[in-house]
């Protein structure tokens, strides 16, 4: 059984009701649900939430909500892995056998059905624990600076001050869209950012964290521009 789990709790603080706030004409979570449906990868697509309004929106756009997430897994400090593990265990207890599970974030409007399919293929061909979306940093992280308490600056890695940018190793980061994983990896809590994982590389123009109102505005501008380019 292939299962998509979309975590979407109701207690977003920085952008209230972020998971169902309208984004370019649809509730934010709708974009993830529609990409999952279009991918054709899943036997079931579910929303894991503690919020009845989010549950109703998820159902409207084609997802299932077979249970409401318990309060102990809905706090500000709850990680993703315990939420996915809870969903898998629910299906096991119900007599099903999830084997490949994709955690798909509710705030990933740039995710595409093709990328989801690529993630599944990568996981299947690699024999690894996970396959997840990544993208490259736009600037060499070795030349990053910090702001001091005195209002001045200093390099995090001053040994690279005189190193040419083209001579520095390229670095990548989590794109925050999807995480394919094998059931045993999720259930055992294996670390995602580890050698057992494979990258699904995305272009930077299709990656945007949405944690602040400024992020939201930029994401809508970028999303509309991509829609216009693609017709």
Give the pLDDT of residue 224: 95
Residue 120 and residue 183: Cα distance in Å, rounded?
13
Domains in the chain with CATH codes = 2-136+172-230 (3.90.550.10)
Rounded Cα gap, residues 49 and 117, in angstroms: 25
pLDDT, tens only, 181-219: 999 999 999 999 999 999 999 999 999 999 999 999 999
- Predicted TM-score of the model (pTM): 0.94
Biggest alpha carbon–alpha carbon distance for the chain: 60
What value, to the nearest 5°, has the Cα angle with vertex 14 and ends 11 and 20? 55
CA distances for 100 relative to 12, 97, 206, angstroms: 28, 9, 25
Question: CA 184, CA 110: separation in Å to the nearest integer?
Answer: 28
Looking at residue 12, its pLDDT comes to 81
Mean pLDDT score, 99-121: 98
Mean pLDDT across the stretch 89-98? 97
Element containing residue 135 per DSSP (H, E): strand 130-136
pLDDT tens string 29-55: 999 999 999 999 999 999 999 999 999
Q: What is the mean pLDDT of the chain?
A: 96
């Amino acid at each position: 059984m292939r299962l998509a789990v979309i975590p979407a709790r109701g207690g977003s603080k920085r952008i209230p009701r972020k998971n169902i706030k309208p984004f370019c004409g649809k509730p934010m979570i709708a974009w993830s649900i529609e990409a999952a449906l279009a991918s054709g990868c899943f036997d079931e697509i579910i929303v894991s939430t503690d919020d009845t309004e989010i549950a109703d929106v998820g159902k409207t756009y084609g997802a299932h909500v077979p249970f409401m997430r318990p309060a102990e897994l809905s706090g500000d400090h709850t990680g993703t892995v315990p939420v996915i593990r809870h969903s898998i265990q629910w299906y096991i207890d119900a007599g099903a056998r999830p084997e490949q599970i994709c955690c798909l974030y509710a705030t990933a409007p740039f995710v595409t059905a093709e990328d989801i399919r690529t993630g599944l293929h990568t996981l299947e061909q690699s024999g690894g624990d996970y396959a997840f979306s990544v993208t490259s940093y736009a600037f060499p992280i070795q030349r990053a600076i910090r702001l001091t308490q005195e209002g001045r600056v200093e390099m995090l890695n001053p040994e690279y001050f005189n190193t040419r940018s083209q001579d520095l190793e390229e670095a990548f980061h989590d794109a925050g869209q999807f995480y394919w994983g094998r059931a045993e990896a999720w259930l055992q809590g294996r670390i995602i950012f580890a050698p057992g994982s494979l990258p699904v590389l995305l272009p930077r123009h299709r990656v945007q964290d949405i944690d602040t109102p400024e992020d939201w505005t930029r994401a809508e501008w970028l999303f509309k521009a991509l829609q216009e380019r693609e017709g």
